[in-house]
Amino acid sequence: MKLEHITDIFFDLDHTLWDFDKNSELTFDKIFKINSINVNLDEFLKIYIPKNLEYWKLYRENKIDKESLRFARLNDVFNELDITVEPNMINKLSIDYIEHLASFDYLLDGTVELLDYLSPNYKLHIITNGFQEVQKRKMKSSNILHYFDTITDSEMVGVKKPNPKIFSHAFKLSEAKKDTSIMIGDNYEADILGALDYGFEAICYNYHKEDLDSSIKQVDDLLELKQYF
């Protein structure tokens, strides 16, 4: 079913276009070697990936700040692995992680093909909860920055998705209208419910393979989005 009324498409970045899991794995491998941290990467990631999502949920809900997120997600994993890492080293790892993350440029399958398909006929935008100092660098290194008319990140607004203020800021910046716009993202709570509650359409890229309500537009593959546009 084509959505013929749409003129503006808002994308999330991490886990939607930018391959966060792949790039994060490569970053940890790099910084553990730099800092001589002896840890099995597979075992670390098995605990870290769900732990990171857990802390990002707290961060979205303003229950922790950025520094607490960066420290606690690493500290908890090392504790569960029973590996002693001093707090000053955890702080250094958290800084190194952000510093090196954008040096990796893997995109999710179909990203460039999709953006090439959409960009001639739609205005494309980013709304991200990611850290301001790294999101644009990610897009530059993966060569997708030029596709987007506007980028709204949570730090420039002071709130995170699904807070309506971030969507309001994005619409003012883009001069888009709700009835001709749509949000595409992986996070059901932040991206999909956030957009729907704000009053515009949404499609979930079901990256996390969640069991979503059948009333929610969803795709399992980015290129499936072509059927809508």
Report pLDDT digits (tens) over 10-26. 999 999 999 999 999 99
Is it true that the peptide bond before 162 is cis, omega within 30 degrees of 0?
A: yes
Is 20-101 CATH 1.10.150.240?
Answer: yes
* Residue 156, H or E segment: helix 154-157
127-to-13, 77, 161, 165 alpha-carbon distances in Å: 7, 29, 8, 12
Residue 112: CB atoms within 10 Å: 16
Structure tokens at 133: 């100092």
Alpha carbon distance 64, 206 (integer Å): 26
| Residue 1 confidence class, pLDDT cut points 50, 70, 90 | confident
SS3 39: coil
Cite the residue boundaries of each domain of the chain with CATH code 3.40.50.1000. Answer: 8-19+107-228
The stretch 172-193 carries a mean pLDDT of 97
Q: What is the pLDDT of residue 52?
A: 93
Q: What is the mean pLDDT of the chain?
A: 96
Taking Cα atoms as reference points, which of 163, 106, 161, 172 lies closest to residue 128?
Answer: 161
Percent of the chain with pLDDT over 70: 100
Contacts of 41 (CB under 8 A, 6+ apart): 25, 28, 29, 32
Domain boundaries for CATH 1.10.150.240 within the chain: 20-101
Query: Which pLDDT value is given to residue 132?
Result: 83
pLDDT at residue 14, as a whole number: 96
Q: What is the pLDDT of residue 225?
A: 97
Q: Which long-range contacts (CB under 8 A, 24 or more apart) does 37-41 make?
A: 37/85, 37/89, 37/93, 38/83, 39/78, 39/81, 39/83
Give per-residue pLDDT as tens, 156-175: 999 999 999 999 999 999 99
Contact 181, 201 (CB under 8 A): yes
Task: State the DSSP code for 64.
Answer: S
**CATH topology (fold) of 8-19+107-228:** Rossmann fold (3.40.50)
Provide the pairing of β-strand 123-128 with 8-11: parallel
Answer yes or no: are the C-beta atoms of 31 and 97 closer than 8 Å: yes
Structure confidence by residue, pLDDT tens digits, 101-139? 999 999 999 999 999 999 999 999 999 998 888 999 999
Give residue 177's Cα distance to chain centre.
Answer: 23
Angle formed by the axes of helices 66-80 and 87-101, to 10°? 110
